Amino acid sequence: MVRNKLMLAAAVLSGVVLATPAAAQNEQFIPILSYRTGAYAVNGVPFANGMADYYNLVNERDGGINGVKLLVEECETGYATDKGVECYERLKGKGPTGAAFVNPLSTGITFALTEKTATDKIPIITMGYGRADSKNGAVFAYNFPLLGTYWSAADIAIQHIAKEVGGFDKLKGKKISLLFHDSPYGKEPIPMLQVLAKKHGFEFTPIPVTHPGVEQKSQWLAIRQNRPDYVLVWGWGVMNGTAVKEAAAVAYPREKMIGVWWSGAEPDVTPAGDQAAGYKALMLQHGAGKFPVHADIEKHVYAKGKGLSEPGKVGEVLYNRGMVNAMLGVEAIRKAQEKFGKKPLTGEQVRWGLENLNLSEARLKELGFEGMLKPVKISCSDHEGARDGRVQQWDGKGWKIISDWYTANQSGTEPLVDEVSAKYAAEKNIKSRDCSKES
Amino acid sequence: MLYREAGQFKTTYAEDMAIFPIRQDRIALAILLGIAFIGVPLLADFDIWPFGSDYLLRAILLPFLILALAAIGVNILVGYCGQISLGSGAFMAIGAYSAYKLGTGVHIPLAWFDFAISIPPLPVLLAILLGGLTAAVAGILFGVPSLRIKGLYLAVATLAAQFFFDWVFLRVAWFTNYAPSGSVNAPTLDFFGLHVGTPIERYLLCLIFVTVFAVLAKNLVRGNLGRQWMAIRDMDIAAELIGIRPLYAKLTAFAVSSFIIGVAGALWAFVYLGSWEPLAFSIDRSLQLLFMVIIGGLGSIMGAFVGAAFILILPILLNRIPSELGVPLSTETITHLEFIIFGSLICYLLIKEPHGFARLISLGKEKLRLWPFPY
């Protein structure tokens, strides 16, 4: 009997999966690979909410992009690479023209998808994360590490430290440690920091933290013994909050900690309470706070009861970042529509839109992002588009911006980008494109 | 009625010892292989849903086949020889990383002797098989403690292998060819001049590996060696008294099991992932494989396949049901529901049938033989 019931259940299940819904015609499909469960959910939830709310805003306020409605579907990856790949395979072919682009929000998933997306001709947007060498669009035609890579982040962090200690010449002999999530994400900045350590003469120590990062006692013991002048934090999810608490436990000054832009949001500092005051983090251009676009979101999305976030969390750092990420994708589709027509586009066509994306100050103002972003211009040889950042500090209640704009020094990052991307091209037999001939 | 062996006379010893002595079993297997080798590629070729889309091949069948292969390996050690292992993920990793090193060329400078060991990049097939062999050697090394310790204590010893190799592949940059992020890319898959790239080619490649190793394993476990393993599993002292050497039996089980797991690891890395990091072979993978074997049925090759399907595919199905039915649930709720339902199913199944799916299948077979006139 049990067997019969199981078989019946299996038959019902397969019947369910076989029934595919019919796709509407004038819709552009956009997948969201998000994580609302697991050790990284505290950071994954606001980011996914920001993205989904912005796509919703475009549909509600403008009726889509030039009349093409956005069709969005979320898939839960749990920040796990194998689940992310499954989600990508599940969603890449949906909608009339397939996925416009994919945002994995995980460096591990980015590595796993890089080859697949190039074969499937679907752009992969990794805003502020992903492989740093994919800035070189000649080799990585479908990767877009928009607004900044980890190598740019490392450079900006060192620039800020140099400013705090009184100049690059003062960096000599200083000790800088990197507390990193032991995954491709945390390891990405290491080669750049090694280059910078050699150039400026500071002593660089990488300290790995095993996934998910709730156990950091031994790492902070090492930091207490070594007394580095600065600790850079390359964490995500629960690892960030734990790092701040452990720093307080060994009395390491929070003012000497600088988190990357993924370690500088509200969920990273609030668990530590007052102990977090003084903690600093890089900003991927924007910070927390509300801008004109938030008024639109509240009017068109939240007033209609369609918002996903708790209203109080609209305008938090990661919510805003999700919005920025969604906006860049939407604008790329709009750009591509200029060339290919106002209809649902394929990933290959959206790729052209991304590569030719040029958001001026005036355009950003129109979109309501004035003050959040600086102008962005993507090109074949520069898939990063902008490499600016500031530093913010947590005062116990909110993030305060404490620095001017820094721009990552391309003369420092560029040789490394060329070297590593050339190695990838050789490994994978990729013929790099001639960027002077692309239009 | 259909499944009755009355009238099937065996007139030679060879027939009596055949791998599938019942005619109906042979026919069923032939049909299954026919569907897998000819049916699926044809359906995919004619673009018949759902075989036409990459999803079924790339996200379901490919990982299913590879993990089923790994589960066969684990089953040999845990199910047939009774040695509990929590290090399967590590042996998959050894297979993957040694195949990667051999596939991209090995260079070990020995400065003291003014001499360097250089191996040019090997063909992929050779690299995968040698990857399995390296895993077998590592398996023998970590199997040595099994001669002294048993049961849970052995499980803890194999856990050490898991953590040791996790650490090695994370920290020793040589294994990842000094990749800055620690993530490595598989070499291009060329077999005898044929490039394996499309999902259907990858599927067929894995299917060939799985079929060959499943037949080999099936033959091995019903032969001399397999009987030695089972004797050790059932009562090691009695086995020793009737003349079975525990050293030989246990270490061969470790070697064969690790070899198959290593090959599966290399396939997982090269064919399925393409680019991977040590996290792909973490302790979670070891536990997943162990669950496959326990749910599927200890000591059954068939059980490895069913267990792999249950552990791998059921959560994906559960996750997809609400959205396919159009039920408006958030991905968060769906994922939590998936955990709840899947967890309760495992509990229910193990209470109802502690010997796993393999036992259910053999019970079903017994009943079918008598149907429709049970006595």
CB contact under 8 A, B353 and A2: yes
- Which pLDDT band holds residue B106 (cuts at 50, 70, 90)? confident
pLDDT of residue A8: 47
A199-221 pLDDT, tens digit per residue, is 999 999 999 998 888 999 999 99
pLDDT tens-digit readout, A109-127: 998 899 889 989 999 999 9
Which residues in chain A are contacts of B280 at CB distance < 8 A? 81-82
CB contacts of A190 in chain B (<8 Å) are 180
Mean pLDDT of B7-15: 88
Contact indicator for A103, A329 with CB cutoff of 8 Å? yes
Summary mean pLDDT of chain B = 90
Distance between terminal CA atoms of chain B? 14
| Separation CA A203–CA A183 (nearest Å) | 23
Please, which residues have CB within 8 angstroms of residue A27's CB and are 6 or more apart in sequence? A64, A68, A69, A70, A71, A95, A96, A344
pLDDT at B1: 65
Predicted local confidence at residue B44, as pLDDT: 85
Q: Does A212 sit behind a cis peptide bond, omega within 30 degrees of 0 on the bond before it?
A: yes
Q: Which residues of A touch B353 (CB under 8 A)?
A: 2
The three-class DSSP label of residue A209 is strand
A312-343 per-position pLDDT tens digit: 889 999 999 999 999 999 999 999 999 999 99
Please tell me the predicted confidence (pLDDT) of residue B372.
80
For the segment A343-357, the average pLDDT, to the nearest whole number, is 94
B360 touches chain A (CB under 8 A): yes
Closest CA to B273 of A423, A124, A187, A115: A115
Dihedrals phi, psi of B110, to nearest 5 degrees: -105, 90
| pLDDT at residue B16, rounded to an integer | 86
Q: Is pLDDT at A23 greater than 50 in this prediction?
A: no
Distance CA B304, CA B324 (A): 29
Confidence of residue A6 (pLDDT cuts 50, 70, 90): very low
Q: Which of A79-88, A345-354, B271-280, B319-328 reaches the highest mean pLDDT?
A: A345-354
pLDDT digits (tens, 9 = 90+) for A34-53: 999 988 999 999 999 999 99
Predicted local distance difference test score (pLDDT) of residue A139: 93
- Compute the mean pLDDT over every residue in chain A, rounded to the nearest whole number: 89
CA distance linking residue B10 with residue B188, whole number of Å: 49
CB-nearest to A89 from B54, B187, B277 is B54
- The one-letter amino acid at A312: G
Residue A161: per-residue pLDDT? 95
pLDDT for A1: 44
pLDDT digits (tens, 9 = 90+) for B162-218: 999 999 998 888 998 888 788 888 888 888 888 888 889 999 999 999 999 999 999
Are B104 and B121 in contact by the 8 Å Cβ rule? The answer is: yes
Is A20 in contact with B324 (Cβ distance < 8 A)?
yes
Q: Is B188 exposed, middle or buried, given 0-12, 13-18 or 19+ CB atoms closer than 10 A?
A: middle
Q: How many angstroms separate the CA atoms of B143 and B137, rounded?
A: 10
Residue A21 has pLDDT above 80, yes or no: no
Chain centroid, CA B21 distance in Å: 25
Whether the per-residue pLDDT at A18 is higher than 80: the answer is no
- Torsion sign, CA atoms A286, A289, A292, A296: positive
B59, B275, B336 member nearest A86 (Cβ): B59
The torsion region of residue A289 among left (phi > 0), alpha (psi -120 to 50) and beta comes to: left
Question: Per the structure block, which two tokens stand in for B321?
Answer: 């049901």
Burial classification of residue B222, based on how many CB atoms lie within 10 Å of its CB (0-12 exposed, 13-18 middle, 19 or more buried):
middle
Rounded mean pLDDT of B49-60?
A: 82
* Percent residues over pLDDT 90 in chain B: 56
Length of chain A, in residues: 439
3-state class (DSSP) for residue A232: strand
| Residues B115-139, mean pLDDT to the nearest whole number | 92
DSSP conformational letter for A401:
E
Three-class SS state of A94 = coil
Please say if the pLDDT value at position B146 is more than 90. no
Check CB contact of B170 with chain A, cutoff 8 Å: yes
> Cβ(A161)–Cβ(A141) under 8 Å?
no
CB contact under 8 A, B180 and A182: no
Most confidently predicted of A267-271, B208-212, B323-327: B208-212
